Amino acid sequence: MSVPSPSVGSSTATGDVTVHLKLPNMDTERAAALTHLEHAAQVLADQLAHGTQESFPGLMNLETGMPRGVGLGDAGIVQRVVKKLLGLFHGETIATVEGVWDCVELDGPVSGHNVTKFIKSLAAAAQLSMWAFRVLPARDSVMAASNLSIILATGETKPFFPCYEDIMPHAKSFIGFQGQVDWILVVEEVFFYELLNSKILEDKSLGYGVMLTGIPDDCSTRMLNLLADSFRKAPVLGLFHAEPICVKMLCEYKYGSRENRYAADAHDCQRLQWLGMHISDFLSLGVQIQQMLPLKPYDVALLDEIESHNDLPQDWKTELDLMRRTGAAYIQAAYSGGDDRQLMAWIRTKIVQSQQ
């Protein structure tokens, strides 16, 4: 799902830009979500009362975009999920997916994966985001920035800082950006903090940067999408380990998740470039092939899945083929001796080159 294009406001004397986001009205979305849940509750109650196997029309298969049937085995679990979601509306509160799972599990065993799947399926059938159903993704996504603030609905601004991370706000909780952005970097979680400690966001020679990290969920993918659309001259870069699971995450940021392609929160960011780390990068930095990590059958299967993507750039395919032959590597392998100055200089050079 594409995010509405932002509108750029006036620039300040310092060069800061104010960007106002054109987002759907939340009251309207939540009213539609409530209607959908009330209908779901009635249909499920009737199905369970009569013991029928009829297809419940309120769910969507996220891989095919087709209605998803619910057999009697799952109907009771879906009903419990719907009741908990209705409880969020009645209590005028919000919860994370994990919070909903905890509540549902009080009434009997159920996997967190199934709860998440049913919530996303309900939202997709209504063509709404999970936020409209008063559900937030896990709050493990963070970001930092050299010169960026979000504009709250009250008109107040909340700044991010270059020296420490802050929890990433959901796009529905603010109405715009204010500041300057010359480059945007999505980083593997552990290395995010290494870069932050290197004071890369305080390096004036690089311009004003934004760094974010987190699994590619509704919160992080929408934030990346909005930043990329709001600051169109800024290159959007990805820095991950050279291993299949991390390349898959990079693909989900760029193309969206195949498993959730029909979800209402299936955002993508086509401008995202794979900055590194490539296997060829490690070799150029002096890492020996003997230091690479052997690929397991699961890794090979992931590479097959990634390379089946029709839009995958040729240089990505070349790097993935090299990974098949040499193995994988973590970013930390580039400074296994404890001196990360060469790697940090390499990253800074890559960021400068991306802006040229």
Per-residue pLDDT of the chain (356 residues; tens, 9 = 90+): 444 445 545 444 457 888 876 655 667 888 888 888 888 888 778 777 776 655 555 677 666 666 666 665 677 788 888 888 888 888 777 777 777 888 787 777 777 777 887 888 888 888 887 778 888 766 568 899 999 999 987 788 899 999 988 888 877 778 899 999 999 999 988 889 889 989 999 999 999 999 999 888 778 888 999 999 999 999 999 999 999 999 999 998 998 876 555 555 557 889 999 998 999 999 988 888 888 999 999 999 999 989 988 788 999 999 999 999 999 999 988 887 667 888 999 999 999 999 98
As to burial, measured by CB atoms within 10 angstroms (0-12 exposed, 13-18 middle, 19+ buried), residue 197 is exposed
Structure tokens at 22: 């054109």
Structure tokens at 354: 């991306």
**Cα dihedral 124→126→129→135 (10° resolution):** -100
As to burial, measured by CB atoms within 10 angstroms (0-12 exposed, 13-18 middle, 19+ buried), residue 281 is buried
User: Please, are residues 161 and 212 in contact by the beta-carbon 8 Å criterion?
Assistant: no
Structure tokens at 88: 């969020």
pLDDT at 13: 46
> Mind giving me the DSSP string for 298-349?
HHHHHHHHHHT-TT--HHHHHHHHHHHHH-BB-GGGGGTTS--HHHHHHHHH
Within the chain, which residue ranges are assigned CATH 3.40.1360.10? 139-354
pLDDT at 266: 59
CATH code for the part of the protein at 139-354: 3.40.1360.10
CB count within 10 Å of CB 165 equals 17
Rounded Cα distance, 336 and 197, in Å: 18
C-alpha dist (Å) from residue 40 to 10, 32, 35, 121:
46, 12, 9, 12
C-alpha dist (Å) from residue 346 to 209, 251, 350:
16, 23, 6
pLDDT at 328: 94
pLDDT at 245: 92
Cis previous bond, 277, omega within 30: yes
